[in-house]
Amino acid sequence: MEKRTGFFDTTSRSVFRRIRKDTVITPNPKCYTLSASIPGDVILGGLPSFIMMLLGCLSNSVLNRLVTFYSNEAMAGMGIAKKIDMIAFSAAQGMTQGVLPLVACNYASGNRERMGRSIRVTLAYTLAIACAATLALFLFAGPITRCFIDSGSTVAYGRDFLRVICFTCPSTAVSFMVITVFQATKQKAQPLILSLLRKGSLDIPLMLLLNHRIGLQGIAWAAPLADWMALIVSALLFIPYFKRLRGE
């Protein structure tokens, strides 16, 4: 294993050494700089994604803690529903993050028409896939859950939870796209605000409140409600900004 690592390290150094005069990519420490706010921009650019992941873990911890007070079957059903919903979540995240370099490059070059077209097309495809996923998960929640476990009570919990949680798919797709556009156009405050709203600041209080008022089903409804509330804020921030951006 050490020999393979050494081989690839040597090969990488050789490649960089050969192309160093023809590319800006270089491992030379002299070319690294802390000036021009570069480290700060890099950190702030990735901070919203980091916060979403961190608060997502915190949110899941609180959710699991609340569900454990009911039954093992409920716990298993919720876990299965969340894992299945992650497929749609990952698809939305992948598509929106994938278009980030395209939006950023067109923004930097001043090509607003192409930038706007790439945003609209990506949003349309992402939203279409998210809506199709919502419909499929809602209609086939039972059979899909049964693919993971054969326990009748667990399948029933998983089916009911999935039919609630699946409504986060469209709102998540749009929110991710909005955050991506803000990140690509060098906006720092808006992505941070929306990341905080999506996970942690809204869904955890809603879980606690709805669990107290409604019970187990209330815990499941906290995520869709928090996501749709975040979507409203996203629209209020994004629509005027996008109009102004296209007019520049």
Please check whether residue 1 lies inside any domain of the structure.
no
Domain range for 95 is 53-247
pLDDT tens string 111-143: 888 998 999 999 999 999 999 999 999 999 999
31: DSSP letter = G
Q: Which of these ranges, 19-28, 119-128, 203-212, 235-244, has the smallest mean pLDDT?
A: 19-28
Please check whether residue 11 lies inside any domain of the structure.
no
Please check whether residue 6 lies inside any domain of the structure.
no
Please check whether residue 4 lies inside any domain of the structure.
no
pLDDT tens string 64-115: 899 989 988 999 999 899 888 888 778 888 888 888 889 988 888 888 889 9
Please check whether residue 225 lies inside any domain of the structure.
yes
* Dihedral pair phi/psi, residue 135, rounded to 5°: -65, -45
- Give the pLDDT score at 59: 86
Please check whether residue 172 lies inside any domain of the structure.
yes
The C-alpha atoms of residue 220 and residue 224 are separated, in whole angstroms, by: 8
With bands split at pLDDT 50, 70 and 90, how would you rate the model's confidence at 29?
low
5: DSSP letter = H
The C-alpha atoms of residue 160 and residue 153 are separated, in whole angstroms, by: 11
Please check whether residue 139 lies inside any domain of the structure.
yes
Number of independent structural domains in the chain: 1
pLDDT tens string 168-202: 999 988 988 998 899 888 887 888 888 788 777 88
Tokens representing residue 98 in the block = 């994938």
- 206 CA to centre of own chain: 20
Please check whether residue 7 lies inside any domain of the structure.
no
Contacts 24+ apart (CB under 8 A), 107-110: 107/184, 107/185, 107/186, 107/245
